[in-house]
């Protein structure tokens, strides 16, 4: 403000003062906008042999295993693919399950191509080394994505990353296939238990008395989680 006051009236016309909503008030001093409250709501993962914690730990071990195999070929692609799985893991159990199911389809196709002689180990290594993909979440916003007809750019980029994230040999692919199969089975069991801790916390907010007459917008990064929420919320009426 002191520097602005030193400007001549003519020069001031080229500038304007920008204020945050919290600073904007009526003439009598009352806030122009309602007070904004931002809370981070924590929740505990379920524990036990068939639990969210177990799935989280097993997924983390899987990511370390595959990353250590793949980073020798294409470290950047391996890192980005790990980020995809970690974001899906944080989004919902269902989103993680769908990622593993897509990964299993790719693994089966790769294994079949190698066993049938359609793809040599050398060709597989070449494809892996050439894989290039950027993390669009770091470079674009949702407004810059596609539409319902053409699909969303973030999802398409993630799918390409997961499909191209391959191992160094047929032995590695077979070992990863067994890991993914076990993770799919565990994710199914966790879902079938009917308890998703993150959804339980969301339901508490939706049914809280303080929000009884409020409109609520739920944001999610992944379409799989969106579909899961539609089903669960629909079940609640």
Q: What is the DSSP letter of 14?
A: T
Alpha helices in 46-169 (DSSP H): 52-91, 93-115, 121-130, 153-164
pLDDT digits over 41-79, tens only? Answer: 999 999 999 999 999 999 988 888 877 776 556 667 677
Rounded to an integer, what distance in angstroms lies between the CA atom of residue 212 and that of residue 204?
11
Residue 166: pLDDT over 70: no
Residue 4's contacts (CB-CB under 8 Å, 6 or more residues apart) are: 12, 15, 17
pLDDT band of 5, cuts 50, 70, 90: confident
Residue 228's contacts (CB-CB under 8 Å, 6 or more residues apart) are: 92, 94, 95
Share of the chain above pLDDT 70, in %: 81
Rounded to an integer, what distance in angstroms lies between the CA atom of residue 128 and that of residue 122?
10
List the structure tokens of 161.
């990353």
Q: What pTM does this model have?
A: 0.74
Answer whether 55's CB lies under 8 Å from 183's CB.
yes
């Amino acid at each position: 403000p002191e520097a602005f006051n030193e400007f001549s009236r003519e020069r001031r016309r080229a500038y304007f003062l920008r204020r945050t909503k919290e600073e904007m008030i009526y003439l009598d001093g009352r806030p122009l906008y309602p007070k904004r409250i931002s809370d981070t709501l924590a929740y505990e993962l379920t524990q036990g042999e068939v639990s969210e914690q177990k799935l989280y730990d097993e997924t983390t071990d899987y990511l370390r295993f595959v990353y250590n195999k793949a980073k020798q070929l294409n470290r950047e692609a391996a890192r980005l693919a790990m980020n995809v799985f970690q974001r899906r893991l944080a989004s919902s159990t269902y989103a993680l399950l769908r990622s593993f199911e897509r990964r299993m389809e790719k693994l089966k196709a790769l294994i079949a191509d190698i066993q049938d002689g359609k793809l040599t180990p050398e060709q597989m290594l070449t494809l892996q080394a050439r894989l290039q993909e950027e993390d669009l979440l770091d470079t674009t916003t949702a407004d810059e994505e596609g539409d319902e007809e053409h699909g969303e750019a973030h999802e398409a980029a993630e799918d390409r990353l997961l499909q191209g994230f391959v191992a160094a040999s047929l032995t590695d692919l077979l070992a990863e296939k067994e890991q993914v199969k076990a993770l799919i089975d565990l994710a199914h069991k966790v879902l079938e238990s009917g308890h998703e801790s993150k959804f339980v916390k969301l339901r508490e907010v939706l049914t809280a008395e303080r929000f009884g007459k409020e409109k609520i917008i739920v944001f999610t990064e992944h379409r799989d989680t969106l579909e899961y929420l539609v089903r669960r919320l629909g079940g609640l009426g």
